[in-house]
Structure 1
Amino acid sequence: MKTLYKSYAFAKAITESVLYIGILLFTLTSVAQTKVGGVIYDDFGDTVPFANVVFPGSSEGTITNDNGRFYLQSENTYDKVEFSFVGYKTQTIKLDNRVNLNMKVTLETDTAELDAVVVYAGKTSKKNNPAIDILRKVWENRRKNGLSQFKQYQYDKYEKLEFDMNTIDSSLINSKLFRGMEFVFDYADTSRITGKTYLPIFINESLSTVYGDNEINKELDDVKANKNSGFSNNQTLIAFVKDLYNDIDVYDRYLKFFDKSFTSPVGKSGIDTYNYVLRDTAIVDGVEAYNIVYYPRRKGELTFKGDFWVATESYAIKEINMQATKSANINWVKEIYIEQEYDVLNDSLFLITRDYFLSDFALNKKEKSKGIYGKRTTLFNDYKFDIEKEPDFYRRRVNDYDPEIYNRDEAYWDENRLEKLNKDEKQVYTMLDTLKKNKKFKRLYNIGTVLASGYYEFDGFDFGPIFSTFGFNDVEGLRLRAGGRTYFGANDPWRIEGYGAYGFDDKKFKFGIGGKWLLDKQSRLILSGGYRKDVEQLAASLTKTNDVLGRSLASSAIVSAGNNGRLSNIKLGLAAISFEPLYNLEFRLGTSYRKITTANPGFFSLDYFDADSPGGIQSETNQAEVDFSMTYKPGRKTTNYGVDRTVINEGAYPILFLNYSKGFKDLFSSDFDYDKFQFYYSHPIQIGAFGRLTARIEAGKTFGEVPLALLDVIPGNQTYFNVSGSFNTMDFYEFVSDEYLMVNLDHNFNGRIFSRIPGLRDLNLRELVGIKAAYGRISDENVALNASGLNYLAPEDIYWEYSAGVGNIFKVLRIDVSFRGGYNYLPDARQVAVTGSFGFFF
């Protein structure tokens, strides 16, 4: 569910982006002086991928994509363009016009050149290749270049994030949808990377000073100013976009962004992934440098094509261009283009001065598909070294929000920007201010907000979530639910939420209400409380939580394997206080009172022996409890500073959870004394180009006698959906314990295997494997307490299952097949289970 939440956050961000403009002008306007574009063919009529396109006498050039298509523009005026590739005759074409966008170029095969350099045709050799010899020198000299030479460092950084709508044709512009908003058509421009017309719709600028200490491996980005247009109140979107564009080091083996690991053309893994060709030697910004062209050896892998310049004396990277190949197994992103430039500080020291990242988000990778450009430009300046700071200087504060940062005047920005805004970027501020006052745009925005957030907004109140309106289970039958929350803004210091639900089979009304109040922003001291009366499947999860508004998917599964009738009526009241002494480290102290009974008498019993009850048997469990927990989430990124925060990188960080619970007998007629300890740890691990492994371990033990309602149930899954942390071949309440250990390993190869199989590589499918195991015990005293008729069984011989699956089916569907590996002799044991899930993933 965490991965799905991240995908939902991305979908929400993109939906809101589209709503803020909804259009693009089909014109070509730009300050560039020369533009060329088209397709390169060979003399057999086939396209030529990865061919070189340059303006003669300059270092300005590009490489054709997988389909032989190219686009190149320059602010300078050129009257010629040159096309070349190993094994073909170089062709120079005279340019009669400033703009030439539909060129069809044919390169003739050069037999003599092929004989002379046959080693570089197609897949280049790794031996006797001067380009790879130079690359090995780059590896040897990496530590001699960059910030790693110094104990401490600091520099000024200017970052500009921009969203642009692209590729909208005239028929859409003239449609009824955009009547009344025609004024935005005046702000279009043309991309120097793709040649497509685009309309800037959002700009975020930030100024900061970055401090780092290599001795203690700490870094701090101290933001001095931040300015937005378009989404000025949407800090979640801004943080989400920034998280997409992580800083990268081209010397690393793998470059991570969009939750994927691309093989770096400069890193040591590149030699097995790319073809390299030494193209030229030239002077770049006063430094003699080698120019090396690279392109992937195989289709379907997460790779780039492009070129880089290497200084001849220090073997440091001077410039690099990287464009992701269209065959790369990544969804919703049609183009990825990266430029980095480095400057010389002395004979051997090179430091990055400019980093440019462009991505084209689209539903598909077709040439004419419409999408949204996301662009990040980062400039670096005023490097200083070996200025030591105290270790506490680098500690991340729990609440570092400073409203002054977001209210700098224009004079401040004019003085401190490292790169001035161009005319179109300046006009975006004016255009969006006007657009947000447009009545038609407001209506479109309201519709999109409902679809994106799941809530219908009123003044100070949100109705929803609308996606939870319908449910079904074997006790309630059809279930209808309605709810809402207070909402005055993303940074509200308090919030109240509630819902009501009705089951048409049991003819009972259920409800839940909860509230929380942020008492102190600096420590995030929060007081919370609530009450819930509902039907719940208590056997769907293992690690204990007390959420008065939460409800497991298993409680409302429309279709289930077997009878999902082992449901419980629960009445839960709680109060808690929590705080964060350190960023992402939370402590919580809570108290709760639960009343649990079976929701399906005659089929499922929670009875236990009780000498003080009539007949010696009790059917209701009443329990008062105090719990203390610690949750640590290193690497988690959040936005907003109110009582609710939005997690930006859900599923991409480790989680450590520890909990101690104490049950008190006779307190408010409570039934049992006990002590319970629980431990949970989850860690996603990116294994280079081989995908992501997620390791999860849970353990717990209960000291004292408790009935079935308070025991730990090994989580089964009778739904046809993938549920994290549960066993797909296990039924609910099949195994019960008071002492348990569970291990779960899931690995997603991200298409590493399928990309090498003809017939499968073009489908962009992804391979999934997993294995789960559980061990548990139950005391004789707790077995003897049972009066339910249910045979207590703990997995003392270890219950395990393994799975294989295929993901990214139609880009949204995942199917897993799980196989039972233990306790196959039990009656009605499910040997195989097929489960699926939907989600938007890169």
Structure 2
Amino acid sequence: MDCRNFYKRLFFLTFFLFLTSSFLFAQNTVITGVVTDAGNRQPLIAVTVSFPGTSIGTNTDAQGKFTVSTNIPTYDHIKISYVGYKEAILPVVPGKTQVINVKLFPEAQTLKEVDIKSGKKVKYRNKDNPAVELIRQVIAHKKQNRPESYPYVEYKEYDKMVFSFVNVNPKITEKKFFRKYKFVIDNRDTTSVPGKSLLPIYVDEKIAQIYYRKSPEKTKTTVLGEKHVDFGGAVDSEGIGQYFKHMYADIDIYDNSIFLMTNNFLSPIAESAPTYYKFFITDTLVINNTKVVELSFTPRNTTDMLFEGKIYVTLDGHFAVQHAKLYINKNINLNFVKTMHVNLDFEQNPDERYHLSKSTVYADFGLTKSKSGGLYGIRTRTFGSYAVNKPHPDTTYIADASANSDEVKHRTDQFWVQNRLDTLTTTEYNTYHNIDSLKTMPSYKRTMDIATLLLAGYKSFDWFELGPANTFYSFDPVEGFRLRVGGRTTPELSKRYYFETYAAYGFKDEKWKYFLSATYSLNNKTIYKFPQDYIRASVQKDVTIPGEDLQFVQEDNFLLSFKRGNNDKYLYNAYYRLDYKHEYESHFSYEVVFTNHTQSAAGSLYFNNVINGEPNTVTNLTTSDVTTTLRYAPNEQYYQGKIYRTPIPTKYPIFQLNYTQGINNLFNSSYSYAKIHAQIDKRFYLSQFGFADVRVEGAKIFGQVPYPLLNIFRANQTYAYDLYSYNLMNFLEFVGDHNESINIDQHFQGYFFNKIPLLKKLKWREVASFKGIYGGLSDKNDPLLHPALYQFPVDGNGQAITHALGSTPYIEGSVGVENIFKFVRVDLVRRFTYLDYLNAPKWGVRVLVQFDF
């Protein structure tokens, strides 16, 4: 489990602490049911169901279903109304959950003619279907209706995100424990979302000015103001906002795919939409003096990642979307989301085309589908001051780092009043003050301290954190029982200076290990914030496994102590290292690292060669080298914490190039060589087939080096599934001085399982992977041809355990199931080549713990 992903897991712990405590919630009046036509028994869409005389109500979905609730005991009737049908008012029992199915009768009408048809249901077809012909016109006009069709576009954007607890019982403040939190619990909103009482706990606002130029294409975003609640030192509020906004990504209905809740939904106006959706013309309206067609749509397969809802299409020749309502249905495989819907509003430009004026995403979260409890999130993006074809000088479209300075995070209340493009409710406004008061309370501080320890593994002491807890104890064949203690400083000590350290002791080898680093930020920002600009010096002495690709200071994670097969070949390492890293706003970065590295064999490993025909044992191998890393990750975003950051996967590729130059006779270095390594990472979104994470790599070594300096292919002998290592390759099994590899990890997101009733109910998802590496060893680095090089190790029987790849690549693949209990992935892994090698496993089962929606 990745301990750095703190706020992702904080999200789920919040569910556990607040959503499963049923006593927090009131005894609501909850009414569920289905509204149908009394004549043909077909479900009615968008019927209004409300409590008479109130604003509490809802609309039926595409199946005619509804849920409406209130915690006010005097409401004892519901009203059902729909244009063209007789209104119905029915009694309900206050304080109870009940099911009421309603049949509406049409208003009396005089029919001019009657067509008598057979009772056989007409099969839906795309051919000769006017609704499909209309949607194809919308698709054909997509390009001209996108904002990017203009040479110049500019507008102001106001982005507001609010997260709230749902239906918290106001009487909870009568309990002794919650009395001190009465000022927070009483700040409820009962009007924004019909049928729900919302208690806001998180508010995030941003105002930005956007400039777009088509040729040469350039988009510039200047943030004018940012504001969010501050939970105190234990929680990075900005990091929470980044994570939530990744779930509630910007929505463009004109894109083929719409990214929501870390999943890709096919847009109802995608090129392939008629293949996956059914379309129906349900009404013709006049809105803002423009004639529009109400086009309803439903998925052909309700288990696919598709929407249902309505779009309103203009009939003025532009075939533009004027309004859209998008819903997810209950059958799709989406974790923790009870309901979600999207409203999109468009305004007309002077040239009669339309631009997006407001986008609102509503999502109701919970561990279960229970109607009570949970979190409710609303993200609203409002656009104003929209102007097209208004050119500016080239300097307008050049990013200005100073424009996005810390000043924008400290705007006055007057600035926000004057510049908000949407309203801030009283409860949302009060949330800022309430959280400021809450974080000063000792009980709150204790709760956050416990959460930090459980989720990140660190015990906070304000300016210093002790941990991580999962490395306190581990074991291995060389060290035996190993104890470790360490920690790191936080921004509370300084934003410029950071220190990290640990000390460990092995009771079998009776040796001390340690790590110490000091980092200085050159831009007066925390070194974990983008853009990074820092210098770091570090020293480390520890034991590692050759070919195990683990985090720099956490290779003694307790869970990784359990390994399969023979695992007794280790290295003692002593590192002296100096790093400099610099990132640019364009997401290009470079890093220069000087390393002096001394390694010696441990366990059953040895460094043996032949000198002048005589066997020789080498005690230490020392190298000094300089590595330059160039990295370009366009549009990269992060889960940003106070003392970590984790990249968010996107559709954009990431390019990385490393060049290492070994320097002979520098600080006892024995070799001169060069290494080059190139890597490309890309996530491919495959519409209804999920997504695939692909990594392509290539590496080459120039010069003659012993095998510890060759490329030791990443192997994995643990029982955890490693995404980028070869899970059935043994440690130190393959080495080379040139190689090319590809790694494909395909997530089908339940595309096949959703069509199998049991698996659909379990919400399991299919996953498959393919890993292959091709390479070899040139003659100059072959110890059989050059005995002065270190000989490849052999086991006690003289059988080789380390090899160079031949003309056949190493290949393994897996099929598996993820989303077991919502966070477990299990893979059945198969090794396809080099099966006759010593202790080469053919099959294996591996487990990975990961959270996802």
Q: TM-score with structure 2 length normalisation?
A: 0.86
Paired residue type of 2:829: S
1:621 Cα deviation (Å)? 0.8
> Per-residue CA shift, 1:710-745, capped at 9, x if unaligned?
111122211111112211221111111122222112
What whole-Å deviation, never above 9, does each CA across 1:249-285 have from its counterpart, x for those lacking one?
A: 1122221122211122232333222332222222223
RMSD over aligned Cα, in angstroms?
Answer: 3.8
| Aligned: 1:750 with 2:753 | no
Shift of 1:814: 0.6
Matches within 5 A, 1:428-577: 428-489=431-492, 492-520=495-523, 524-541=532-549, 549-551=553-555, 557-577=560-580
2:164 is aligned with 1:161? no
Tell me, in whole angstroms, the C-alpha distance in 2 between the residues paired with 1:79 and 1:171.
25
What pairs with 1:191-340 in structure 2 (closer than 5 Å)?
193=193, 195-231=195-231, 234-313=237-316, 314-340=318-344
Distance 1:607 1:473 in 2: 24
Match of 1:149 in 2: 149
C-alpha distance in 2, partners of 1:692/1:646?
23
User: Which range moved further: 828-837 or 497-506?
Assistant: 497-506
The superposition leaves residues 502-557 of structure 1 with CA deviations (integer Å, 9 ceiling, x where unpaired) of 2233332211111211123698432111011111112123xxx9x8635386x962
1:633, CA displacement in angstroms? 1.8
Shift of 1:449: 2.7
Structure 1 CA distance, aligned partners of 2:336 and 2:657? 38
Could you tell me which residue of structure 2 aligns to residue 764 of structure 1? 763
1:81 shift after superposition: 3.0
1:81 aligned partner: 80
The TM-score with structure 1 as length reference comes to 0.87
* Counterpart amino acid of residue 734 in structure 2: F
User: Would the alpha carbon gap of residues 70 and 217 (structure 1) be closer, same or farther in structure 2, given more than 3 Å must change?
Assistant: farther
Partner of 1:69: 66
Partner of 2:46: 52
Tell me if the contact between 2:290 and 2:314 (Cα under 8 Å) persists in the aligned partners.
Answer: yes
From 816, 819, 841, the equivalent of 1:830 is 841
- Matched-pair contact (CA < 8 Å) for 1:479–1:503: yes
1:607 maps to what in 2? Answer: 608
CA distance in structure 1 between the aligned counterparts of 2:114 and 2:689, rounded to whole angstroms: 38
2:87 aligned partner: 92
Whether contact under 8 Å (2:3, 2:456) holds in the other structure is: no
Distance 1:13 1:128, change over 3 A: same
Distance 1:708 1:380, change over 3 A: same
Partner of 2:73: none
Query: Structure 1: where are the runs of 5+ without partners?
Result: 30-34
Structure 1 residue 150 displacement after superposition: 1.1
Distance 1:251 1:146, change over 3 A: closer
Q: 1:352 matched to which residue of 2?
A: 356
Shift in alpha-carbon separation, 1:82–1:261, aligned structure 2, 3 A: same
Distance in 1 between residues matched to 2:670 and 2:119, nearest whole Å: 84
Correspondences of 1:69-148 after superposition (within 5 Å): 69-71=66-68, 81-82=80-81, 92-94=87-89, 104-107=100-103, 124-148=124-148
Aligned to 2:775: 776
Counterpart residue number, 1:799: 810
> Is the 2:649–2:683 contact (alpha carbons within 8 Å) kept by the matching residues of 1?
no
Q: Partners in 1 of 2:184 and 2:753 — Cα distance?
A: 44
1:418 aligns with 2:421: yes
Tell me, yes or no, if the aligned pair for 2:159 and 2:381 is still in contact at 8 Å: yes
Cα deviation 1:788-840 (Å, max 9, x = unaligned): 54344211221111211111111111111121111122232211121110111
Partner of 1:39: 33
Instruction: Report the Cα distance in structure 1 between the residues aligned to 2:639 and 2:333, rounded to whole angstroms.
Output: 30
Flag the 1:20–1:834 CA change in 2: closer, same or farther, 3 A.
closer
Long gaps (5+) in structure 2: 71-76, 107-112, 526-530, 795-799
1:626 aligned residue: 626
**Offset of residue 104 of structure 1:** 1.3
Structure 1 window deviating more from structure 2 (337-346 vs 445-454): it is 445-454
What is the SS of the residue equivalent to 2:561? coil
Q: Pick closer, same or farther for the CA change 1:302–1:788 going to 2, 3 Å.
A: closer
Instruction: Pick closer, same or farther for the CA change 1:148–1:400 going to 2, 3 Å.
Output: closer
How far apart are 1:114 and its partner, in Å?
Answer: 11
Structure 2 CA distance for partners of 1:764 and 1:118, relative to 1, 3 Å: farther
SS, match of residue 483 in structure 1: strand
Distance 2:41 2:242 in 1: 40
* Aligned-pair CA distance for 1:431: 2.4
2:589 aligned to which of 583, 586, 589? 586
User: Aligned partner of 1:684: which letter?
Assistant: R
Supply the distance in 2 between the matched residues of 1:193 and 1:228 (Cα, whole angstroms). Answer: 22
Asked if the contact 2:246–2:262 (Cα under 8 Å) also holds between the matched residues in 1, the reply is: no
- Rounded to whole Å, the distance in 1 between the matches of 2:118 and 2:264 is 33
Distance 1:5 1:275, change over 3 A: farther
The corresponding residue for 2:528 is none
Q: Which 10-residue stretch deviates more, 591-600 or 514-523?
A: 514-523
Residue 181 of structure 1 aligns with an amino acid whose one-letter code is Y
More deviation, 264-273/252-261 = 264-273
| 1:488 positional shift | 2.9
User: 1:747 Cα shift?
Assistant: 0.9
Please give the secondary structure, in 2, of the residue aligned with 1:52.
coil
Choose 254-263 or 500-509, whichever is displaced more. Answer: 500-509
- Contact kept, 8 Å, 1:533 with 1:571, in 2: the verdict is yes
Aligned position for 1:674: 673
- Specify whether residues 292 and 652 from structure 1 end up closer, same or farther in structure 2 by C-alpha distance, changes over 3 A only: closer
The CA deviation at 1:116 is 5.7
Inter-CA distance 143–437: structure 2 relative to 1 (3 Å threshold): same
SS where residue 527 of structure 1 aligns? strand
Tell me if structure 1 keeps the 8 A contact 2:591–2:628: yes
1:80 is displaced (CA, Å) by: 5.5
CA distance in 2 between counterparts of 1:176 and 1:475 reads 54
What is the CA deviation profile of residues 409-435 of structure 1, one whole-angstrom value per residue up to 9, with x for unaligned ones?
112221221123222222223322332
Pairwise CA distance, 1:25: 7.4
Alignment coverage as a number of residue pairs: 812
| Residue in 1 that maps onto 2:110 | none
User: Contact 1:47–1:67 at 8 Å: present in 2 too?
Assistant: no
Partner of 2:714: 715
Contact 1:28-1:197 within 8 A present in 2 as well: no
**Cα distance, 1:61 vs structure 2:** 7.2
Indicate the SS of the match to 2:203. strand
Structure 1 747/635 Cα, relative in aligned 2: closer, same or farther at 3 Å?
same
* Aligned equivalents of 1:194, 1:731: Cα separation in 2: 59
Give SS of 2:246's match.
helix
Map Cα deviations across residues 740-799 of structure 1 (whole Å, 9 max, x no partner): 222112211111111123332222221111211112222334323133543442112211
Matches within 5 A, 1:812-823: 812-823=823-834
Identity of aligned residues (%): 26
Matched residue, 1:32: none
For residues 404 and 837 of structure 2, the distance between their equivalents in structure 1, rounded to whole angstroms, comes to 57
Deviations 1:33-84 (A, max 9, x none): xx9953116699x99877431489x9x97333769334499xxxx9963359
Q: CA deviation at 1:120?
A: 7.8
- Would the aligned equivalents of 2:575 and 2:595 in 1 still touch at CA under 8 Å? yes
Is 341-350 or 686-695 further displaced after alignment?
A: 341-350
